[in-house]
Structures are given as C-alpha cells and as structure tokens.
Amino acid sequence: MGDLFSKEEKTLCHLQQDCGNKFRGCNYHPPDWKNWMSGLNLEKVHLNKVVWPGTHNLAANDVEIPVITRPFAKCQSLSIYYQLEKGTRIVDIRVQEDRLVCHEILKNYSVDFVIQDIKKFLSETQSEIIILEIRTEYGHNDPPKFDKYLKNQLAEFLIHQDDHVFEKTIAELLPKRIICVWKLRNSPHPEAGDALWHAGAAEQDFFLKLQ
C-alpha cells in the first residue's frame, strides 16, 4: 500500500506544479451542495477524477458523556442527512456487535438511523453517488449477519465490486448510487463481484486508478 500512497503523492505534486492547486477543481463552489455531482458532466466525468469530500466518524454526532468526553468522542454536530446535504459523499461509520454506532467504547444510536438518512437523501436526489464505508470498531466483533442486513436495506442502490469502477463515468453507474465497503474484523470477506466491497479491493482499485 505504501507504493500506492507514494504514487498519489507524486500525482498531487504534479497537479500543484501544473495549475497551482493540489486538486483540480478545488476552487469549485456549486450553487447547490445537495446536488453538486449532478452539476458535473455525468457522461464525461470519471470517478477517479472526482474529489470526494468525506466525513470522519460521520455518525459520531451524538457520542458523548457531557463535559467528560465531548472534545474527544463527538466528531460531528450535524446529522447524517444534513452532512450529505452539505456535500459529504464519503461516509465513515463504526459499529459494534449489536449494530449500534460507536466511537471506541462509547455507543450511539442504531445503524438503522444511518441507513434511513442515507436512503432519505438518495430519494431526494438523482445523480449523487456515495462511498459508504462501514467498519467494525476496534475491540469489537462483527455484528451477526450484517452483510445480509446491508444488502437487504440498500439492494437497489448497491454498485457491485468491479475492477474498473473508478474508470467509469458517473452516468455509467447510475441508477446505482452506493459503493458500500464493509470493513469487518473476523467475518469472511465479500467475494469478487459481490454487492459489498472489502477494504482491500476498494482501496487498491481507487488508488491504482487515481491519475
């Protein structure tokens, strides 16, 4: 993986030399953040040319013990839905055995609320694509049958594993809308072509296709 990050760093250096920015389009300010991907040229813009705004611990907007833990555990103040509405397209979620969202030892609401907010957002938009990364938090075991849960909940939106997905245009993926990466601890990895992505497949494909 070190070689992949080294290649990415060289790419960013070349961009800065060519156009004075670390990312092409970083000065782009869409009039509607909720639908900013829809404002791109869907038939020509490939996924590996998109700068993906992401949120760390997206669902840690209510993980806290007042006064004691807030500075360390509460990563966000907005709900999942409003973060998506503000432009976030990479979603980082941590879960524990009972499907509660957590941040290390502190737990929050059920992952059902995350799924509901994502589906609500997708129902109100047409061309926004989300990279949904869900991982079992360190020190916890995977929720039982969680892969089946994700597939049942998100079936109509899931973009299946594809070695060339980041070389495709946004239009080529639609109406599918979610690349769901399941970072598990001890369950079997999703197989090639599965509706869920395992971490190695997603990260390797993304960084190899980043030009």
User: Dmax over Cα atoms in the chain, in whole Å?
Assistant: 50
Verify whether residue 103 is a known catalytic residue: yes
For 113, other C-beta atoms within 10 Å of its C-beta total 16
- Identify the CA nearest to 89 among candidates 140, 135, 50, 41: 50
C-alpha 35/C-alpha 20 separation (Å) is: 27
Question: Out of 46, 56, 160, 198, which one is annotated catalytic?
Answer: 56
Checking 24-30 for CB contacts under 8 A at 24+ apart, the result is 24/49, 24/51, 25/51, 26/51, 30/87
Catalytic choice (14, 29, 103, 164): 103
Which residues are part of the catalytic machinery? 56, 103
